[in-house]
Amino acid sequence: MKTSVFLAFALNISFLAPVSAQTPPQRPAQLNPPVQDEIVRVTTNLVQVDAVVTDKNGKPVTDLRAEDFEILEDGKPQKISNLSYISTEPSSSQVSISPTIPPKNEAPAPAPVPARGKVRRTIVFAIDDLGISNQSLQIVKQALKRFVEEAMQPDDLVAIVRTRSGSGALQRFTTDKRQLNANIDSLRWECLNRAGPAVLRPSPCPPLPYSSYATLAHTLRSLSYIVEGLKTLPGRKSMILFTDSFAVLPNPADLTIGAEGNKPTPGATPTESVPQTDESRSKTGDVSMYFDLGRGLIQLSNQASVVIYAVDARGLVTTNLRAEDPREVAQTFSQGPLHDTIYGNLLSHRSNAVLETQLGLQELAHQTGGFAIINNNDLGEGVTRIVDDLKGYYLIGYRPSDSTFEKRNGRTPFHTITIKLKRSGLSVRSRKGFYGVPDETRRPVTPQTREQRMVAALESPFAAGDVRIRLTTLFGNVPQGSLVRTLIHIDARDLTFTDQPDGWRQANFDVLVSSYGENGLIADYLSRTETIRARGKTYANMLHYGLNYSLLVPIKKPGPYQLRTAVRDTATNRTGSAYEFIEVPDLKKGRLSLSGIALSSTYLDLAALSLSSGVYNAPPDNGDLVQPTPAVRRFIPGMTIDYRYVIYNALPSTKNSLPELTAQVRLFRDGEMISSKEEPASDSSRLQIDLKRLSAKGNLQLGDDLIPGNYVLQIIVTDPRAKEQYGMASQWIDFEVVK
């Protein structure tokens, strides 16, 4: 095992380097020509921004000249030194790529990857599965399918990314429509979410154990993570965000989109708010914190030349009573004047919630040169509008003054950019400003060393997809403290095995796991270098079923975390990455809590697994797709699923006797419960040494007629001796059923 001190330093420096600490170099004498790969440029002799001009019907206008524009920096007119219109539309000679249906009896040819200079558009569809309902997610999937089939161009690089979790192998940019359709099909709704299964419908999942704004913080940081990964990519770069919940503004009632008060103030620098405790946190404080995070996302987007388009996936939201509302609510609001007042308060609350998200989306898009799609039930048409907007743009440049890069009161200033049109009847959209730091001082460095490659894999959701991995995170607790077990499934075919004496095959790989806390900084990390040897049937099974690798990551404080992992094949320097969102409860409060749930089809001793990290093989099975292990969780109809977990803080029924706990085991598909059963919670067949940490197990027989797809197993444990607010705990885990 090898651990590098450099990693902790490099990871934190890569996220914390303040623009205020950078010093601009001397101005060169010659004017740099515009570079299309870098749409937004801030150099000591050229500030270049992009702008989209449309007519009153929303159609692009492409014939304007420099004299038709006026550009102002901090309200002062600037002389335009260069202007050009860049079209991203394919030439008539280009043909469609990767047909969805290949010719009969022929294998489909792989989609060609365009050369960097030929990439016209780089598009990321960001699915906020930390804040989207299952109902909205299904509509989003239809809209994405429509884009792939009807609007995708031959030289488009496209990726589909989730805010909650993901894998570098699945999120790689591609021109292959088949791969994108497969990625769309894999999108699924999960319980750890600010939204329920349907718009305004109560969720079958338990309430989040922390403020729902905590998941909003991770949404914002995931979006920043995505934007960071777009910095070095070519073409017209855009991120299209789909969400149901995006309340990031401090006071929506007082906000006017595009008003001066909503722009970063001159002299301001990016800030990270200190997370508040549950006791001190209020909604107002939360929203103020996430406004700062949203402003940081806007700054990153403008630096990386990324246009953000925001889509309210709910469409036109009805705030009146709906069929999804509980029956008791409907009855209450039909019983007199007092209840009419309550009903009015409900409608007001719902209207404000809708407005908060819509204003947040509008501001995010407005500040980065995009626009928001709200109150539109046809998301496919909304995506078409966005794609049409990406057909071309103007590049407008001017020579900045020396004062642009001078610090004010020791801080790097923010400069507002205003673009006006002298021709009437037209509209222009562009970014709203930049920080006075020239691009020369923040050029990305190509990773060279082992540590740099691993850091790069963690920093970008797109940079590492050559080693296919899958990440599962399970919370646990031992007397020494809380931890997260990371289960990493590695496709062994992506590792380089060398021949050894006596038929042995050997591969070496590096593993890095980091936990990111609510403040966006690294809470802890583990780095390992492993050597694996196998031969004969074991080697064949490893190539066929993959390799499962396990690490324990200590967690010092409760709260929500993002776990990221990177794997590097040492022989070829190929890397893979994945990330997952997880919440860690505060066990010191005495509240009943559950560990993560481990699923398998055979007995698995979690206590033995928690003693040390290790490498173990996935067991053989009777199908190419079936892998009933905790790391993969892929089962077939008729199979018996074994589940194991640990119960924390249960109250004993009598002195030193086992608590009388009951567990409700629920099975969900697409947010709908399809089965439920009750059973004793603790494992009476096992000696329970620590009554504060009770082992529990059970099994679930899958029906022979179960439809293939994604499922969620939820376990709710109830302690009748505990106080009402402390006597219930819930945990869930997703799995897949295949034929």
359 pLDDT more than 50 = yes
Which is higher by pLDDT, 727 or 653? Answer: 727
Specify the pLDDT at position 461: 62
The lowest-confidence range among 27-41, 250-264, 359-373 is 250-264
The whole-number average pLDDT for the span 536-565 is 89
Res 323: pLDDT: 62
> Is residue 227 scored above 50 in pLDDT?
yes
More confident residue, 586 or 560: 586
- Residue 139 gets which letter from DSSP? H
Q: Check residue 623 and give its pLDDT.
A: 42
Highest mean pLDDT among 22-31, 110-119, 532-541: 532-541
Q: What is the pLDDT of residue 353?
A: 77
Catalogue all structural domains in the chain, each as residue range(s) with its CATH number.
1-19+448-584 (2.60.40.10), 46-88+393-436 (no CATH), 116-390 (3.40.50.410), 595-739 (2.60.40.1930)
pTM above 0.95, yes or no: no
Rounded CA-CA distance 58/51 in Å is 14
Of 260-274, 456-470, 577-591, the least confident? 260-274
Average pLDDT, the chain: 76
Residue 736 has pLDDT above 60, yes or no: yes
Q: What is the pLDDT of residue 197?
A: 58
Between 451 and 647, the higher pLDDT residue: 647
Say how far apart CA 511 and CA 566 lie, in whole Å: 6
* Predicted confidence band of residue 221 (pLDDT cuts 50, 70, 90): confident
**Residue 388 tokens, joined:** 């049409």
Written as one string, the DSSP assignment of 495-539 is S--EE-GGG-EEEEEEEEEEEE-TTSSEEEEEEEEEEEEE-HHHH
Highest averaged pLDDT of the listed ranges 220-229, 387-396, 438-447, 457-466:
387-396
Question: How far, in Å, CA of 157 to CA of 101, rounded?
Answer: 20
- The answer on pLDDT for 665 being more than 70 is yes
Query: Which of 15-24, 369-378, 458-467, 617-626 holds the top average pLDDT?
Result: 369-378
Q: Is the pLDDT of residue 62 over 80?
A: yes
Per-residue confidence band for 620, with pLDDT thresholds at 50, 70 and 90? very low
CB 279 within 8 A of CB 348: no
Distance in angstroms (rounded) separating the CA atoms of residues 28 and 399? 12
The pLDDT assigned to 222 comes to 85
When pLDDT is cut at 50, 70 and 90, the band that residue 373 belongs to is: very high
Position 261 confidence tier, pLDDT thresholds 50, 70, 90: very low
Whether pLDDT at 474 is above 90: yes
CA 47 to chain centroid: 31
Residue from 478, 477, 490 nearest 565 by CA: 490
CB neighbourhood size of 79 (10 A): 8
User: In the structure encoding, which two tokens stand for residue 632, read together?
Assistant: 């993969």
Residue bearing the bigger pLDDT, 447 or 571:
571
CA distance 675 to 696: 20
117 or 590: whose pLDDT is higher? 590
pLDDT band at 52 (very low <50, low <70, confident <90, very high): very high
Percent of the chain with pLDDT over 90: 31
Q: Give the pLDDT band of residue 421 (cuts 50, 70, 90).
A: very high
- If one compares 210 and 275, the residue with the highest pLDDT of the two is 210
What's the confidence (pLDDT) of residue 32? 37
**pLDDT at residue 117 in the model:** 59
CA 112 to chain centre: 27
pLDDT band, residue 4 (cuts 50/70/90) = very low
SS3 letters across 140-170: HHHHHHHHHHHHCCCCEEEEEEECCCEECCC
Mean pLDDT value of segment 58-64: 90
Percent of the chain with pLDDT over 70: 71
Q: Is the pLDDT of residue 610 over 50?
A: no
Mean pLDDT, range 671-676, rounded to an integer: 85
pLDDT in the model for residue 226: 86
- Amino acid identity for residue 177 in this structure: K
- pLDDT-derived band at 618 (thresholds 50, 70, 90) equals very low
pLDDT at position 34 is: 42
- pLDDT tens, position by position, 179-211: 788 788 878 887 667 776 554 444 555 555 445
d(CA 120, CA 63) in angstroms, rounded, equals: 20
Q: In the predicted model, what is the mean pLDDT of residues 463-479?
A: 86
Answer for the pair 107, 178: CB distance below 8 angstroms, yes or no: no
pLDDT at 262: 37
Residue 439 CB partners (closer than 8 Å, separation 6+): 38, 41, 42, 43
93-116: pLDDT as tens digits: 444 444 444 444 343 444 455 555
Q: How confident is the model at residue 331 (pLDDT cuts 50, 70, 90)?
A: low
For 478-493, how does the pLDDT look when each residue is reduced to its tens digit (9 = 90+)? 999 999 999 999 999 9
Number of C-beta neighbours around residue 58 at 10 A:
11
Q: Is the pLDDT of residue 289 over 90?
A: no
